[in-house]
């Protein structure tokens, strides 16, 4: 449906993709949208590929995003952005973390990590944000806040007010990490104006 927004969140196990997906869904639900969510965990415990589809709109019938229909590709790892690029709409926005995590074939020397990923992303996306999520998370106070820093970037291109995001974050993360996550979120938002 034309009024449906499709957000594809990808990365590898342990990067906080499912939390990020849950927060996007909670934000959309809080504004009265119909929301559907679907995850594929793969070999998440071993650093395997993980993807999550979040779709919201007036009425959403299916939880999965078809190839060429993602309005936003939010990738937590460089190679994963390339792996899922065919799902991005020609008018879509790619938000890509610069982190590189070698898959098993690369780590074992049987394959090479692809080159020129950023150039390929630039060719296939309407808008591209390359973000050093690790640096933002470290600035915020904890490396595990990468996912929330990237949500900060995402929040600048979706229609939801910053306060709605902050409420969702506060209600979901452990109380002792709220300040770090707020800082990471804000640093992500600021990175867009510098990008």
- C-alpha to C-alpha distance for 138 and 59, rounded to whole angstroms: 39
- C-alpha to C-alpha distance for 143 and 154, rounded to whole angstroms: 19
Kindly state the average pLDDT of the residues 24-46.
84
* pLDDT per residue as tens digits for the range 82-100: 999 999 999 999 999 999 9
- C-alpha to C-alpha distance for 50 and 16, rounded to whole angstroms: 10
Q: Decide which of 111 and 40 is more confident.
A: 111
Average pLDDT, the chain: 92
Question: Taking a C-beta distance cutoff of 8 angstroms, is the pair 79, 32 a contact?
Answer: no
Query: Phi/psi at 16 (nearest 5 deg)?
Result: 85, 25
Looking at residue 49, its pLDDT comes to 84
Looking at residue 43, its pLDDT comes to 55
At residue 29 the predicted structure's pLDDT band, cuts being 50, 70 and 90, is: very high
Looking at residue 114, its pLDDT comes to 87
Question: Taking a C-beta distance cutoff of 8 angstroms, is the pair 93, 150 a contact?
Answer: no
Q: What's 36's domain CATH number? A: 3.40.920.10
- C-alpha to C-alpha distance for 103 and 19, rounded to whole angstroms: 22
At residue 107 the predicted structure's pLDDT band, cuts being 50, 70 and 90, is: confident
3-state helix, strand, coil in the chain (%, to 5): 45, 25, 30
Could you list the residue range(s) of the whole structural domain that residue 164 is in?
5-194
Kindly state the average pLDDT of the residues 169-178.
96
User: Does residue 52 carry a pLDDT above 70?
Assistant: yes
Looking at residue 1, its pLDDT comes to 41
User: Does residue 44 carry a pLDDT above 60?
Assistant: no
Q: Decide which of 194 and 177 is more confident.
A: 177
Which residues are bridge partners to 127 per DSSP? 93
- Model confidence, pTM: 0.93
- What is the tally of structural domains in the chain? 1
């Amino acid at each position: 449906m034309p009024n449906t927004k499709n957000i594809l969140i990808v990365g590898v196990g342990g990067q906080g993709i499912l939390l990020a997906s849950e927060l996007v869904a909670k934000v959309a639900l809080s504004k009265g949208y119909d929301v559907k969510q679907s995850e594929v965990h793969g070999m998440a415990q071993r650093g395997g590929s993980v993807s999550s589809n979040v779709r919201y709109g007036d009425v959403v019938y299916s939880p999965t995003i078809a190839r060429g229909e993602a309005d936003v590709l939010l990738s937590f790892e460089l190679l994963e952005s390339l792996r899922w690029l065919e799902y991005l709409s020609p008018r879509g926005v790619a938000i890509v973390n610069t982190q590189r995590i070698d898959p098993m074939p690369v780590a074992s020397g049987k394959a090479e990590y692809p080159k020129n990923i950023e150039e390929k992303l630039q060719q296939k996306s309407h808008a591209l944000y390359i973000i050093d999520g690790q640096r933002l998370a470290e600035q915020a106070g904890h490396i595990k806040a990468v996912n929330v820093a990237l949500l900060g970037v995402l929040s600048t291109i979706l229609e939801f007010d910053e306060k709605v995001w902050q409420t969702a974050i506060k209600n979901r993360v452990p109380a002792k990490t709220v300040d770090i996550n707020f800082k990471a979120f804000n640093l992500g938002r600021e990175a867009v104006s510098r990008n």
